[in-house]
Structure 1
Amino acid sequence: MKRVSPSDVIRSLIASAKRVADECDAEAVLLLADVPFEFSEMTQILKKSRLVVASDKPDVQRAAHEDGIDSVPLLHEPQTRSLQVTQALLEAIADDLLQPGGKVVCVYSLFERDVLDTVSIVNLADQLSRLTARDLRRLETTVPLETLRLVVDLAVEVGREGREGKSVGTMFVVGDHRKVLPMTHEQVHDPFKGYGAKDRMIRSPRVQESMKEIAQLDGAFIISSDGQVRAAGRNIDAPATGLTLSKGLGSRHWAAAAISKQTKAVAIAVSESTGTVRIFQNGFVVLRIEPMERGLKWSSFETEPPPSDDK
């Protein structure tokens, strides 16, 4: 692997990034790199400012590792620089390399891929809050955005706060309920059974609090496109054949993937162990929300075949 020593122009840009980082009290300088620089030379310029390298190139990631620099792997697919910066920031937060409330100075190539030419200041709290509505709109679904946001916000709260000091894992299946319900069966007694439609609408704060409490029980919530809880405590019977998921995900996530593949519903799974919220569509994870913030992202995962019990 041939390493590239920073040119005088790049050294000047890194020095400018350091001054900006010092002035705005940024916690790190995030560098999007397409070539394996001598990153140790950059750290000498940055001095006390911490460097984080993000790249989709394996040789760049190896170079950063060799120089003892924290690195963030990016997806290898055509994207705008703006999307790459967003992905890098979210990945860095997920890996505890950055704090969600801080500021970061980003250095990257905007006009020529191999020439660093741009320095930006990013307030992570503002950046992550803007992602939610924008990325939810990317989902190609008939579920109204208002309903989807209500359910996603509820899932994030469950993942971040749990209930009464305990971690909680649960699942929400939104939309196409007429096809979804026949592919489920009652796992626990349905707490919503017998209530009128008004008392089952998720836009009601009272219903949301009830759902947080019920989330401690096993089973999924089935929610119609208009935001009505049609059932709770349901076990998913959809087959998990032909699916691939990230290693380490359990039966709840396999069930979410399965029901989203077999129907037009969007399934939202909350991990009990980490609080991470994953949104499934057509059998795939399309968005992931870390518990510390409502930042959403497209994700790519190492995969494995379905478990033998089809869950």
Structure 2
Amino acid sequence: MSRDSLPPILASLIRQARRVAEEVNCIATVMLADVSYDFREIQQLLKQTQLIVASAVPAVVEAAKADLVAVVPLNQEPQTRQVQLSQALLEAIADNLVKTGDRVMALYSGYERDTIDTLSIINLSERLARLTARDLQRLETQVPLGTLRRVVDLAVEIGREGRESKRVGTLFVVGNHRKVLDMSHEQIHDPFKGYAKKERMISNARVRESIKELSQIDGAFVIASDGCVMAAGRILDAPAEDLTLSKGLGARHWAAAAISKATNSIAIAVSESTGTVRLFQNGTVVLRIEPMMQAMKWHDVDTEPPQE
């Protein structure tokens, strides 16, 4: 198996990481890797600090396994480094490699894609915002995991980022879409009406961006089990009977609870006031996800030449 030798700068960074990890009591070092390095050598440089390799590249995952190093496979969908790191930490927690309350070191490419150049110290907390697959697999639903995870991740992004610097609340109903449509009515002209199915799939990045933009309108998005957006701006008519919700939850959450109970669907509500995402099944909250800080993004910077 072909391996890349450690660049001198990376080797130096790892040695510094070891010193910092020892000084601040880091339990492990999580490396986001897109290249198959000699991970045994990296573990030796880190000495007593455990190395955890996280990667979306199958060859890197196999290389880490061959070197008997702990590994966390990542989704292959394009993501920011911060989102990838969040996923890596959550999966590491799910695999009992680290636990909430631990302090870990992270090594990753902050600026150049194939060059690990950034070191961060992270205190793991209960407020990580994304889900592992295991969280969703615990739900007993006919909705495929891939569809559910895409919708949940989109809801988390809306809760975290809002729209145009403003907080946004919205609602998704996933699965059993025919019954959901029967128990709802149109609030506005449906912006998805008339488009071909392939142009309404939530796996499409353009569709997800459209949903973010449309999340400011009233009403719910209705999504089929296969991930096709069936309607937007729907007002839900399910009766809110025999439901018990926490104090402080508003009409959107009551509607989510009611429709999930009446239609055996999964309803996902984003709170406008806090960005918190709640998943409802059979009328009750089954998962709650707190927003994390805004994801790292690149911005163009306007500069002016110095005055002579």
- Any idea what the Cα deviations from partners look like across 1:13-32, whole Å, max 9, x if unmatched? xxxxxxx9964269xxxxxx
Alignment of 1:127-138 (within 5 A): 128=128, 131-138=131-138
Distance verdict in 2 for CA 1:131–1:215, change over 3 Å = closer
The residue that corresponds to 1:165 in the other structure is 165
Alignment of 1:1-311 (within 5 A): 23-24=24-25, 89=100, 103=103, 124=124, 128=128, 131-292=131-292
Amino acid at match of 2:246: S
Distance verdict in 2 for CA 1:131–1:194, change over 3 Å = closer
Q: Which runs of 4+ in 1 moved over 3 A?
A: 20-23, 125-131
Amino acid at match of 1:151: V
Q: What is the alpha-carbon distance in structure 1 between the residues aligned to residue 293 and residue 22 of structure 2?
A: 23
Q: What is the alpha-carbon distance in structure 2 between the residues aligned to residue 174 and residue 240 of structure 1?
A: 18
1:128–1:293: 8 Å Cα contact kept in structure 2? no
Q: What is the alpha-carbon distance in structure 1 between the residues aligned to residue 22 and residue 288 of structure 2?
A: 29
State the shift of 1:123 in Å: 5.7
Amino acid at match of 1:196: A
Q: What is the alpha-carbon distance in structure 2 between the residues aligned to residue 192 and residue 152 of structure 1?
A: 20
Amino acid at match of 2:218: D
**137-146 or 123-132: which moved more?**
123-132
Q: What is the alpha-carbon distance in structure 1 between the residues aligned to residue 127 and residue 167 of structure 2?
A: 27
Amino acid at match of 1:235: I
- Any idea what the Cα deviations from partners look like across 1:153-208, whole Å, max 9, x if unmatched? 00000000001101000000000001110100011221101111011000000000
State the shift of 1:103 in Å: 1.9
Structure 2 unaligned blocks of 5 or more: 1-20, 28-92, 105-121, 295-308
Q: What is the alpha-carbon distance in structure 1 between the residues aligned to residue 293 and residue 267 of structure 2?
A: 20
Q: Give the TM-score normalised by structure 2.
A: 0.56
Distance verdict in 2 for CA 1:129–1:172, change over 3 Å = closer
Secondary structure in structure 1 of the residue aligned to 2:275: coil
Q: What is the alpha-carbon distance in structure 2 between the residues aligned to residue 250 and residue 127 of structure 1?
A: 22
Secondary structure in structure 2 of the residue aligned to 1:206: helix
Identity percentage over the alignment? Answer: 68
Q: What is the alpha-carbon distance in structure 2 between the residues aligned to residue 175 and residue 132 of structure 1?
A: 20
Secondary structure in structure 2 of the residue aligned to 1:246: coil
- Any idea what the Cα deviations from partners look like across 1:199-240, whole Å, max 9, x if unmatched? 100000000000000001111000000000000000000000
The residue that corresponds to 1:303 in the other structure is none
2:222–2:230: 8 Å Cα contact kept in structure 1? yes
Amino acid at match of 1:197: K
1:268–1:278: 8 Å Cα contact kept in structure 2? yes
- Any idea what the Cα deviations from partners look like across 1:123-153, whole Å, max 9, x if unmatched? 6289958852111110000000000000000
Q: What is the alpha-carbon distance in structure 1 between the residues aligned to residue 194 and residue 131 of structure 2?
A: 38
C-alpha RMSD over aligned residues? 3.0
Distance verdict in 2 for CA 1:25–1:146, change over 3 Å = closer
Q: What is the alpha-carbon distance in structure 1 between the residues aligned to residue 233 and residue 22 of structure 2?
A: 50
Amino acid at match of 1:24: N
- Any idea what the Cα deviations from partners look like across 1:90-144, whole Å, max 9, x if unmatched? xxxxxxxx8xxx728xxxxxxxxxxxxxxxxx96289958852111110000000
- Any idea what the Cα deviations from partners look like across 1:255-292, whole Å, max 9, x if unmatched? 00000000111000000000000000000000011111
Secondary structure in structure 1 of the residue aligned to 2:254: helix
Q: What is the alpha-carbon distance in structure 1 between the residues aligned to residue 265 and residue 162 of structure 2?
A: 25
2:129–2:156: 8 Å Cα contact kept in structure 1? no
> Number of residue pairs matched?
189
Q: What is the alpha-carbon distance in structure 1 between the residues aligned to residue 201 and residue 274 of structure 2?
A: 28
Q: Give the TM-score normalised by structure 1.
A: 0.56
2:128–2:292: 8 Å Cα contact kept in structure 1? no
Amino acid at match of 2:269: A
Q: What is the alpha-carbon distance in structure 2 between the residues aligned to residue 280 and residue 21 of structure 1?
A: 43
Amino acid at match of 1:199: E
